[in-house]
Each structure stands twice: as C-alpha cells, then as structure tokens.
Amino acid sequence: MNLKDVQDYFKLLSDTLLEKNLINKPSNIFNIDETGLQLNNRPEYVVDEKGSKNVTAVTSGEKGETISVIVCCNAEGMFIPPTCIFKGKNKKNEYEDGMPAGSVVVMSEKSAYVNTTIFFDWIKAQFVPRKPDGPVVLILDGHSSHVSSVELLEYAEQNNITLLCLQSHTTQFLQPLDRALFKAFKLYYYAACYTFIRVNPTRSINRLQFGKLMCEAWSKAATVDNAVSAFRSTGIFPLNPDIIPEYAYLGETPTSHLEKNNNEIASTINGNENNDPVPTTSNSNEEDIMETPALSKIQNESREKKESDNIEDNDKVKQKTGSRKSQRKKENENIPGIQEYQYNQPGSVTETDNSSNRLPTTQELQDKDNNKKKKKNKKPVSTEEQRRKWREKEAPNVKKLKKIPNDTKNTSKKSGNKTKSAEMKEN
C-alpha cells in the first residue's frame, strides 16, 4: 500500500466521524462487502500410509456455479441478514429454505455478481430498515456498482447515510470483512459441503442445498467477536491508524515511527537524556520528517565512509591489475624471441634486425586467411570430372585391353548350352 493514501484515508475517516459525532458510537459505523461461494466441495487432506499410491477422496465431479453473498455488519457486532445473488431469471421459493432468518435471494440475468440495481435495492430493503437512528457511516470499496448511480447517492444523503470509499489496493488491510470474517466463513462453508458429499456420495450440491450449508457456516463465522476484531484490526474503531503493520507499506514506514526514531537518534548524539522531542516540520511527508540535524550528521558520516571505502576498493583493483601485468611480462621474458619484437599497434608486428626466429608478418597472416577462405569456398569435384581428368593424364600410359566382340561371347554361350544338353541326352 501507499503510505500517503492510507494517511489521507484515516484523515478523512476521522474528520467524518468527528463531524457526525460518531467517534464513540460503534453501532453507527458499518462495513459492506461481497464474497463468492461455489456449489461444490473442496476435499481436505487425506491421511494414509507413507508410500501408498492410491489415495482417494470423495468429491463432486462438477465445477459448480458461483453465488455472491452480500454481507454487512457494524463495529458493535450486529450483522444484517445476508443477501444471495443467483444467476437466472425465475426465482423459486425453495432457494431460501434453510437460510438464516431474514435472508433474501435475488436473481440476476447476466451474472451472479452485484450491480447498481441490486445494491440500490439492498440499501432500500435491507439496510435502511435496520440501521439505527441518526447519521450512519457505511464503509465500502470503490466498485462501480456502489458509487456510479446519482439516484443512489441522493437517496443515501436523504437517509443520513455517508458512503466512505476505501482507497484502491488497500482492502486487504483496511476492509474489516476481508480482514477477519470472509476467510472463516468460507472455511466453514466448504467443510459443510465436504461432510454433505461424504454422507451422500451419490448426490451433488445444488441450489436447493445451498441455504442449509450456508446457514451452518454463517452461524459459526458471523459472531460478535469476529465483527469487533475486524473493526479493531483495521483501525476503524477504536480509531488507531498505527495498528496497520509496517510490512503492509511499499518500503515505507508510518510517520509516527519515523518521529520516534528521530528522537531516539538525536538524544543519543546530542546527549539528550530526557528524550525531548526533536523539532520537525509541519508537513507530514517523509522527506520533511527526515530533515533533522542529527540525521543530517549521520548521513554525512555515512557518505564520507562510503567514499573512503570506494577509494580503497579502487586502489586494491589497481594493485591487482598491476601485479597481473608484471606477471605477464615475466612470463613473456622466458619465451624465446618475444623480446626481439616490438608491437606498436594491435595486429601489426615489426621485426628487428637481430631476429633469429622471425614471427609471421601481417601480410603473411592475411595470405593464410585468404587461402583458407578459398579452400572453404572451393566447390566439390564430381566423380565424372575426376574420371575425365584421370583419362587425360593417366590413360595414355596404360596399355589398352583388347575388347572381346559381342558375337563371340554369344556363340560361346550357345555352344556351351548345346554341349550341356547333348550330354544330358546321352546320359
């Protein structure tokens, strides 16, 4: 979360509660949010012997549809009966069987999620009849269904309802229902679904069983203790912005912790035994709070230390590189012929007059590279070309063999056949 956004939110919350005179009235501070439940079970862990391969658990083969549940409670621990949103057009009275007292089922054609019409109807039918007299603060997230209708905002103003929206990306720490209720509610619901599937392995969970399963989880999760701890852990009632943990911020710390650290550091450096507060600027930004004489002295010392460390590191690197160069020179001195040549430029070699073992020049190296390239680019010679070249060079020196005419070959074959047949007849 962003530290400045959280500070602005708590400032707005405190100003609103002071304006409406609700600092000490937890019954008039409400929070509303929605959560989704699926019509299937989530199998728990199975205990079996080590090394066993066939570990089974009973579960439903269907994915199951999602049903949204609107939940609302106040800082005193009072819950408004839940409202369930089913996807569809036609409503059946059987859907409400087994639900908590006062619960309502609402049908939505497009999806099972809340929209502006459903939220406005919930305000009129569920919230206004049950809210206490006088002004009320309703804390909610900034979903479009909550704040996009002008008619809804006018109706809330007429009924003394102040809608206070949370900052974006802060609901995981500032939304009471997300903080301390929904996790337990879902755990109890899916545990009830699991027991239902184990008792009835041939049946599946549908809308008719949803009311009973949800009521079992609601009775365990929607308690006074959970509601009170939800508002306390988010710093709403009692009002306490410092209750938000430091790890919730993006690499920042709250201003109160910064002021405390500044006072401690200044007291240790200046010899302030009474821990008198250090004067700070009136702005609440982190940069202004950090500008104190004590901290500036520490920062200067740390900078000087870093600079000295960098200089020492650079000297060490130079010493290492110098020692490596000297080692290379010593190694080159032991090789014969190295001292007799001086290298003026990379790639160029100049030979001295007293050279006995001459090194190749750049021209000779280029000629070698060109010869290698020619060999690589040379096309392979076919077998017919090789035979033709051999005939031109070697064939005149070889004695030509006399060719046997084809007639003699045929006659010899025929005569041979006749003799064989004659011998067969004689036998």
Beta bridge mates, 84 = 69, 105
Torsion of CA 221, 225, 230, 232, to 10 degrees: 180
The 3-class SS string of the chain reads: CCHHHHHHHHHHHHHHHHHHCCCCCHHHEEEEEEEEEECCCCCCCCCCCCCCCCCCCCCCCCCCCEEEEEEEEECCCCEEEEEEEEECCCCCHHHHCCCCCCCEEEEECCCCCCCHHHHHHHHHHHHCCCCCCCCEEEEECCCHHHHCCHHHHHHHHHCCEEEEECCCCCHHHHCHHHHHCHHHHHHHHHHHHHHHHHHCCCCCCCHHHHHHHHHHHHHHHCCHHHHHHHHHHCCCCCCCHHHCCHHHCCCCCCHHHHHHHHHHHHHHHHCCCCCCCCCCCCCCCHHHHHCCHHHHHHHHHHHHHHHHHHHHHHHHHHHHHHHHHHHHHHHHHHCCCCCCEECCCCCCCEECCCCCCCCCCHHHHHHHHHHHHHHHHCCCCCHHHHHHHHHHHCHHHCCCCCCCCHHHHHHHHHHHHHHHHHHHHHC
Considering the domain boundaries, does residue 277 fall inside one? yes
Per-residue pLDDT at 191:
92
Per-residue pLDDT at 151:
94
Write the CATH number for 170.
3.30.420.10
Same domain, 120 and 268: no
Same domain, 23 and 124: yes
Phi, then psi, of 112 in degrees rounded to 5: -95, 20
Considering the domain boundaries, does residue 270 fall inside one? yes
Same domain, 12 and 133: yes
Number of structural domains in the chain: 2
Same domain, 144 and 281: no
The angle at the Cα of 380, spanning 377 to 382, to the nearest 5 degrees, equals 160
CA 256, 262, 267, 272 torsion: positive or negative? negative
What's the token pair of residue 308?
């000295």
- Residue 323 burial by CB count (10 A; 0-12/13-18/19+): exposed, middle or buried? exposed
Same domain, 14 and 124: yes
Same domain, 39 and 89: yes
Per-residue pLDDT at 74:
96
Same domain, 69 and 213: yes
Considering the domain boundaries, does residue 375 fall inside one? no
| pLDDT tens for the 427 residues of the chain, in order | 888 999 999 999 999 999 999 999 999 999 999 999 999 877 777 788 888 888 877 777 667 899 999 999 999 999 999 999 999 999 999 999 999 999 999 999 999 999 999 999 999 999 999 999 999 999 999 888 888 889 999 999 999 999 999 988 899 999 999 999 999 999 999 999 989 988 988 888 999 999 999 999 999 999 999 999 999 999 999 999 999 998 888 765 555 544 554 455 445 445 444 445 444 433 444 434 444 455 565 666 667 766 777 676 666 666 655 566 566 665 555 555 444 444 444 444 444 444 445 677 778 888 888 887 777 666 565 677 777 777 777 656 555 544 455 554 444 444 445 444 445 555 4
86 in Cβ contact with 95 (< 8 Å): yes
CA 418, 419, 422, 423 torsion: positive or negative? negative
CA–centroid distance for 169 within its chain: 15
Considering the domain boundaries, does residue 56 fall inside one? no
Same domain, 186 and 307: no
Q: Which of 284, 305, 332 represents a domain boundary (last residue)?
A: 332
Considering the domain boundaries, does residue 260 fall inside one? yes
Same domain, 70 and 172: yes
Per-residue pLDDT at 323:
60
Per-residue pLDDT at 368:
83
Per-residue pLDDT at 284:
40
Considering the domain boundaries, does residue 110 fall inside one? yes
Kind of pairing, strands 66-74 and 79-87?
antiparallel
Considering the domain boundaries, does residue 113 fall inside one? yes
Per-residue pLDDT at 232:
96
Considering the domain boundaries, does residue 200 fall inside one? yes
Neighbour-count burial for 247-266, b at 16+ CB within 10 Å, e otherwise: eebeebebbeebeeebbebb
Neighbour-count burial for 293-322, b at 16+ CB within 10 Å, e otherwise: ebbeeeeeeeeeeeeeeeeeeeeeeeeeee
What is the number of other CB atoms lying within 10 angstroms of the CB of residue 230?
23
Same domain, 145 and 82: yes
Query: Which residue range forms the structural domain that includes residue 315?
Result: 253-332
Same domain, 290 and 155: no
Q: Which of 332, 366, 388 represents a domain boundary (last residue)?
A: 332
Kind of pairing, strands 66-74 and 161-165?
unpaired
- Picking from 178, 184, 183, the residue whose alpha carbon sits closest to that of residue 234 is 178
Give dist(CA 127, CA 83) in Å, integer.
Answer: 11
Same domain, 218 and 73: yes
103 in Cβ contact with 246 (< 8 Å): no
Torsion of CA 336, 337, 338, 343, to 10 degrees: -170
Per-residue pLDDT at 377:
66
Kind of pairing, strands 136-140 and 29-38?
parallel
173 in Cβ contact with 234 (< 8 Å): yes
Q: Which of 316, 332, 348 represents a domain boundary (last residue)?
A: 332
